[in-house]
Amino acid sequence: MEESNSPTPDARGAAQAADLLVTVAATLNERLAFTAEELARSQALLREASSELMTAFRGAADRLVAAQKDETASAPRNVEYEVVLDHLYRAVQHLQSHDLVNQLIDAQKLRVDKMREKLGEAISLSKPPVNDPAQAEQWIQRSRAMLDCIVAGIQQIDDDARHTKSDKKHAGSVDLF
């Protein structure tokens, strides 16, 4: 008896679902590429601003430390010195935030890149034609492989997020053992 090659309704449905999955993965990958660009642009702006602030800070800090080294025991410390030091101490706190935000953006960029890599991998799984398009099971297997790849990417992102978590509530806290 001759075998029919025309797809069953099940196979047609599975093929449509597989196509939809490819479209979703490709669209998501495009959006993530846009996000990666925006993150890189934000980071470049922040780096530039941080660099300018650091130059200004360094100039003031160096002069202050040099002035302190020149002090003699008999010369009372200038009141202005304390005021400037207080301002610089406040700057220290905010400059650290710039630095920490930069690190957070780095971590986000890494996550976006990893997810894009996984989505690209998933999309590449859809490239080779299925052996027998009339078999629903083959489309389902391909979709499952793509989904497994995407889920692995999401899990990796979750693991990385746990490792780089910083908690604003505890910022500045001290524990002495």
What residues line the site for another protein (CB under 8 A)? 50, 54, 58, 61, 64-65, 68, 85, 88-89, 92-93, 95-100, 103, 164-167, 169-177
Please give the structure tokens belonging to residue 152. 């692995």
Nearer to another protein, 24 or 64 (CB): 64
- Residues 152, 35, 113, 16: what is their CA dihedral angle, to the nearest 10 degrees? 40
In this complex, which beta carbon is closest to another protein, that of residue 78 or of residue 93? Answer: 93
Beta carbon nearer to another protein, 127 or 168: 168
d(CA 120, CA 124) in angstroms, rounded, equals 6
Q: Whole-angstrom Cα distance, residue 24 to residue 27?
A: 5
Q: How far is the CB of 174 from another protein (least distance, A)?
A: 5
Q: How far is the CB of 39 from another protein (least distance, A)?
A: 19
CB of 153 to another protein, least distance (A): 23
Least distance in angstroms from the C-beta of 19 to another protein: 43
Contact present, 53 and 98 (Cβ < 8 Å): yes
Distance in Å, CB of 118 to another protein, minimum:
24
C-alpha to C-alpha distance for 20 and 18, rounded to whole angstroms: 5
Beta-carbon contacts of 67 under 8 Å, excluding residues fewer than 6 positions away, are 81
Which of 114, 108, 113 lies closest to 43, judged by CA?
Answer: 108
- Which residue number, 127 or 170, has a Cβ lying nearer to another protein? 170
8/103 with CB nearer another protein: 103
Radius of gyration over every alpha carbon of the chain, rounded to an integer in angstroms? 29
How far is the C-alpha of 35 from the C-alpha of 31, rounded, in Å?
Answer: 6
